[in-house]
Amino acid sequence: MGSNELRVIVVGGGLAGLAATVRIAEAGLPVDLFSLVPVKRSHSVCAQGGINACNEVARQQGYSEYEHFDETIYGGDFLQHQPPVYEMAHMAPKIIDLLDRMGVPFNRTAEGMRDLRLFGGSLYKRTHFAGATTGQQLMYALDEQTRRYRSEGKVTAYEFWEFLWPVIDVDGKCRGIVAQDLRTMQIRSFRADAVVIATGGCGLVFGQSTNSVMCTGGAASRCYQAGVKYANAEFIQVHPTAIPGADKLRLMSESARGEGGRVWVPAVKKDGKWAPHPDSGRDPRKLDEATERWYFLEEKYPAYGNIVPRDIATREIFSVCMAGFGVGGGNMVYLDLTHRSREFLETRLGGIIEIYRKFVGEDPAELPMKIFPGVHYSMGGLWTQYAPKGDLKGMVKGDPRNMMTNVEGLYAFGEVNYQYHGANRLGANALLSCIFDGLFCGEGVAGYVREMGADPASQASASMYDEVVRREESRIKSLLSSKGGENPYQIAKELGAEMTAASTVVKSGARLEKALAKLEELRGRHERMSLADTGSWANQNLNWARVVGDMLALADPILRGGLMREESRGSHYREDFTERNDERFLKTSVAEFDATTGRSRITHEDVEIGLVKPRVRNYGKVGSKSKTKKNEPATASA
Amino acid sequence: MSSKNDAKGKAANTRTVRFNIKRCDGPGQPSRWERFDVPVQSSSAGSGSANVISCLQWIAANPVTIEGRKTTPVSFDCGCLEEVCGACTMVINGQVRQSCSCLMDSCAPNDGDEVTLEPMSKFPVNRDLFVDRSRLFNDLERIRGWVPIDGTYDLGAGPRETPEQQQQRYKLSECMSCGCCLEACPQYTLEPDEKEWDHAFVGAAVISQTRYFNMHATGKELAKQRLDVMSGPGGVSDCGNAQNCVKVCPKEIPLTESIGSVGRQTTIHKIREFFMGR
C-alpha cells in the first residue's frame, strides 16, 4: 500500500457490494472487497422474478418514473423517505440499460427488445427479467465486471473472510475494519478511508427463511453494537409464496403470479359463503373450477387480483389457512399455473419450475404448487442519511452523505440499508435498490474519500487498529474456553422458533413481550456455551457460535420496535392495533444498542413525505370504505 | 433437529440414516472416516423432505459418532440451498452433485439406509467436505470472462438480441461454477500449486463460459484473447471427449456442444493466425 494511498473497503459481495465496488474502482480508488463466500455465490443469486423500471411500452400506456415512485411509496405504506425513492425510480431505466450492456440475458420479444412482465403492486408491465433467475443473472454480470477490475489489480477480494467489527476513531470516524480468515482463523485489521457495509438481510434470525445460510444479519448487528443506529427493524417481509423444507423455505417467485398464477383453496359454498372443503386434500384437478375452488385474492381484490403486494397476499393466505381452508387441513394453499403451456412456463419461469420439481417432486405444469408464506426480506436495516435536493425530487448527486450511517465514513448499501421500501417492499424493487445504492451512492463514497485526502487512514495510529484486533481475539478466546454446556445450534433453533411465532404475520403486544423475555433467557444461555470444536483451523462451529450472539442482539430491536409500534402498517400487523396510525407512527423507528443490558433503546423520527401525501392503502379491496388510487387503469397492459 | 426423538427413542415416522463421512482436519492432513446415525423425518404435507444439508446441520448440533465418541462438527460449504449458488457440491454415494438437492426421500428412503459423503477430489481440501475452488475462478479470469463495457455511465441500451440467441445464452449463463463437471472429468486433475494453474486444463465449465462471452456482440471484442488461451496449454484441445461433464451438470448446460463450438472457433482462430500472422 502506498503511504498516502486512499482505499475503500466494501463488505459483502452481493449486488449492492459489487455495484459499489465497480463504481468506486471506476472512480479510480482501490477497493478491498470482503465476503463470507466467493462473491459469485452471494445471496443475490436467489432473487428470481425481475427488476422494475419504467420502459417505453409502459410509458406510452401512461406509466412513468413518477408512477414507479408513487407505487413504491404506496406499496411501502408511506413509511419511506421520499427523495431517495424518487431518485431510484428515475435512475431505474438507466440501470436496466447498463445491465443490458453488461450482457445480462434479459428475455426478449420477437423483435429483440427486452420483454416485460407484471409484478405485484402495479397494473403496468414494468418488470424486466431473465427467466426466473434474474438475481443470478444480474449477479453474474456484476461479478464479471468485478473480475475485470480484479484482473487489473484495482480490486482485491478477500473471500471466505468474515467482517468482525468496524474500526472507529476518537472523532467517531470509521477508519477500517477487523476481519477473520475463515480458513486460517487469523484475525487482522484493514485500513480504509471509507467502509461500505453491503451484507444483506437477517432471515436466519427467524430460523427458517428464504435466505441463504450466510444471511444472519451478523455484520449489521456488529455495526449496530458498535454504535450505528438500526432503523425500522420490525419491518420484516414475509413472502406469500414459499415451499416448506427441512433446512429452508424455498422461494416461489412472485413472477409466478405475475405470469398468471392463481392462488386458491379447496372450498364449497354454504349459504352463499365459502366454507372449507370437506375433502380438501383430494386431487386438485378433480375440484370444480366454479363451485369447489375459492380464488380468494381475485374475489377480494378485483383490480389487482393475484398481484396484490406481498404483505396483503401473505395475510390473506395466512388467514384462510387459520380459518381452516388450507389444503388437506394443513398450512398450504394452491398456486396454480397449470392453465399455462409447458413451453410458456419453461421460457419465462424455468428456474422456479425446476426448483419446485427438484425439491417437491411434482410438476407445476401438471399439478398446482402447494405454498405457504415464509420470512423473506428485511425492509429495516442500518440507519442512513441522504442529501435531498431543494425540491425533494431526488438526492444531490455525488454527495458524501448519501446512505452514510450516523458513523462518518461508514455506509450501508442494499438490503442492509433501511431506505427505499418503507413498511413493505414491492416485488422486483430489491435488485433495483441494491444496484442503485452501489452506483448512485458509490459516487458519494468516492467523493467522501477524496475529501479525506489530508488525513488518510494509512497514516492513522496503529494502536487504534491493534486494540480492536485484541478485543476480537479475546472474545474468540472466551468463546473457545467457555464450558457452560449450552449448544449454539439449540439456542439458534429456539430463537428462530420464537421469532417466527411472535414477530411475523400477526403480532400482538402480549406475544412480543413474551418473546422479549425469551430473548433475555437466550442471551443468558449464550454466555454459557460449550463449543464442540475448539480447533484453530476452519472452525465453522466457532463462527456460528459467535454470530448467534449477534443474531440475539439484532432480534431485540425487531421485537421491541414491533412492541412500541402500536399500529398496523405494511408488513407489520398488530392484532391489538389493526389500523394505521399516521399521527403517532408515520415515523421511523430508530434503535440504539445499550451495551450494558444488551437491549435496544427505540426512538421515533419523522419521515420526509413532502412529495406524496399519505392516503388510504387498500388496493381496492371489496367492501373497503374508500377508493385507493387516483387513476387506476382499467386493465393491465397487453 | 429435535432432541425429543433421542429422549423418547425413535418417534413414529422417523427413520435412521447412517452417514459415512470422509473427514480431514486441514490441508496436508490425513483423512479418516466417521459415521453418524441421523434421525430423518418422513416428509409429510407441509414439512418437505430432509436433505444432505439438513442432516449435516443435525450432525453439527449433535456431533457424536455411532461409537458414541464426541467429535467436531463436519465442515462443509453451502449457501442458497436451492441449487443456484453452486457452493455445496460434494461426492455423494460416489456421484458428484449439489448436496442441497440430494433429498433423503429419494437417496435414503428406508430405515438403516446409508449415505456416503466425500469432498470433491479435484480441489484441495480446506477441511472435511469444504474444498478450495479458487482455480476455477482463476480460470474465468484467464479467459477474460466479462463483457468489456465502456464504463457504468448511462450510454443507452445494449445490443438487441433475438429470443433464440437469448435462450441459448441464458442456458450457458446459468453455470454456477459448482465444479461438478470438473470432478467428473478424467482430464481435469488436482493441482494444488497455484503457479501451475495458468497451464493446467480449464475444464468444461470455463470452455462453456468462453463460448458464452464470445456469443455476445460486445463480449466478442475479447474473443481473440480468449481463443489464444483456448488454443494454448490447458485449453480446449486437452479435452479427451469423455463427455462425463454434461451428464453431471446440475443445470443441464450443453457442455459438449460448448466444447465443440469452442473447438471449432479455436481451429479457425489458428488458421487465421497462420495465414495473417499475429
pLDDT at A452: 82
User: B245 to chain A, minimum CA–CA distance in Å?
Assistant: 20
Structural contact between residues B85 and B176, judged by C-beta atoms closer than 8 angstroms: yes
Which residue on chain B is closest to A530 by alpha carbon? B61
Residues whose CB is less than 8 angstroms from the CB of residue A284 and which lie 6 or more positions away in sequence, other chains included: A266, A327, A334, A336, A367, A368
B30 shares its domain with B140: no
Q: Is the pLDDT of residue B84 over 80?
A: yes
B195 shares its domain with B226: yes
Task: With beta carbons under 8 A apart, name residues in chain B contacting A435.
Answer: none
Question: Residue A624's pLDDT band (boundaries 50, 70, 90)?
Answer: confident
The CA distance from A77 to A155, in Å, is 39
Question: 3-state DSSP helix/strand/coil percent for chain A, to nearest 5?
Answer: 40, 20, 40
Residues of A carrying an active site annotation: 310
pLDDT at B12: 66
B203 shares its domain with B227: yes
A250 with B82: Cβ contact below 8 A: yes
B53 shares its domain with B115: yes
User: A605 to chain B, minimum CA–CA distance in Å?
Assistant: 35
* Mutation site, A36, A41, A159, interface B, largest B CB count within 10 A: A41
CATH of the domain at B270: 1.10.1060.10
The CA distance from A525 to B187, in Å, is 52
Q: Is the pLDDT of residue B221 over 80?
A: yes
User: B12 to chain A, minimum CA–CA distance in Å?
Assistant: 17
Residues whose CB is less than 8 angstroms from the CB of residue A472 and which lie 6 or more positions away in sequence, other chains included: A164, A165, A178, A180, A187
Of A130, A246, A327, the CB nearest to B54: A246
B102 shares its domain with B212: no
Q: Is the pLDDT of residue A3 over 80?
A: no
pLDDT at A223: 98
B203 shares its domain with B241: yes
* Mutation site, B64, B81, B169, B178, interface A, largest A CB count within 10 A: B81
Structural contact between residues B130 and B78, judged by C-beta atoms closer than 8 angstroms: no
B71 shares its domain with B178: no
B79 with A41: Cβ contact below 8 A: yes
pLDDT at A630: 42
Nearest by Cα to B243 from B177, B182, B183, B185: B185
End-of-domain residue from the set B103, B130, B157: B130
A97 with B157: Cβ contact below 8 A: yes
Domain that holds residue B19: 4-130
* Interstrand relation of A8-11 and A31-35 (parallel, antiparallel or unpaired): parallel
* Mutation site, B80, B155, B170, interface A, largest A CB count within 10 A: B80
pLDDT mean over B181-204: 97
Task: Name the grid cell of A389.
Answer: 435536493
B82 with A359: Cβ contact below 8 A: yes
What domains can you pick out in chain A, each with its CATH number? 8-240+376-460 (3.50.50.60), 241-375 (3.90.700.10), 465-585 (1.20.58.100)
A247 with B51: Cβ contact below 8 A: yes
B46 shares its domain with B144: no
Structural contact between residues B44 and B14, judged by C-beta atoms closer than 8 angstroms: no
B145 shares its domain with B75: no
Which residue on chain B is closest to A251 by alpha carbon? B82
B144 with A151: Cβ contact below 8 A: yes
Residue with cell 426448483: A355
* Interstrand relation of A194-197 and A187-191 (parallel, antiparallel or unpaired): unpaired
End-of-domain residue from the set B75, B98, B130: B130
The CA distance from B107 to A600, in Å, is 46
CATH of the domain at B81: 3.10.20.30
User: A36 to chain B, minimum CA–CA distance in Å?
Assistant: 10
Q: Is the pLDDT of residue A628 over 60?
A: no
Q: Is the pLDDT of residue A153 over 60?
A: yes
Q: Is the pLDDT of residue B91 over 70?
A: yes
**Across all residues in chain B, what is the average pLDDT?**
93
Number of domains in chain B: 2
Of A26, A109, A538, the CB nearest to B151: A26
pLDDT at B10: 56
B19 shares its domain with B102: yes
Structural contact between residues A309 and A424, judged by C-beta atoms closer than 8 angstroms: yes
Task: With beta carbons under 8 A apart, name residues in chain B contacting A22.
Answer: 152
Of A40, A103, A327, the CB nearest to B147: A103
B47 with A246: Cβ contact below 8 A: yes
End-of-domain residue from the set B130, B161, B196: B130
Per-residue model confidence as pLDDT tens digits over A241-295: 999 888 899 999 999 999 999 999 999 999 999 999 999 999 999 999 999 999 9
- How much of chain A, in percent, has pLDDT values that exceed 90? 94
B225 shares its domain with B161: yes
A46 with B84: Cβ contact below 8 A: yes
The CA distance from A166 to A175, in Å, is 8
The CA distance from A258 to A127, in Å, is 9
B112 shares its domain with B225: no
Of B106, B149, B173, the CB nearest to A105: B173
The CA distance from A319 to A485, in Å, is 41
The CA distance from A214 to B136, in Å, is 22
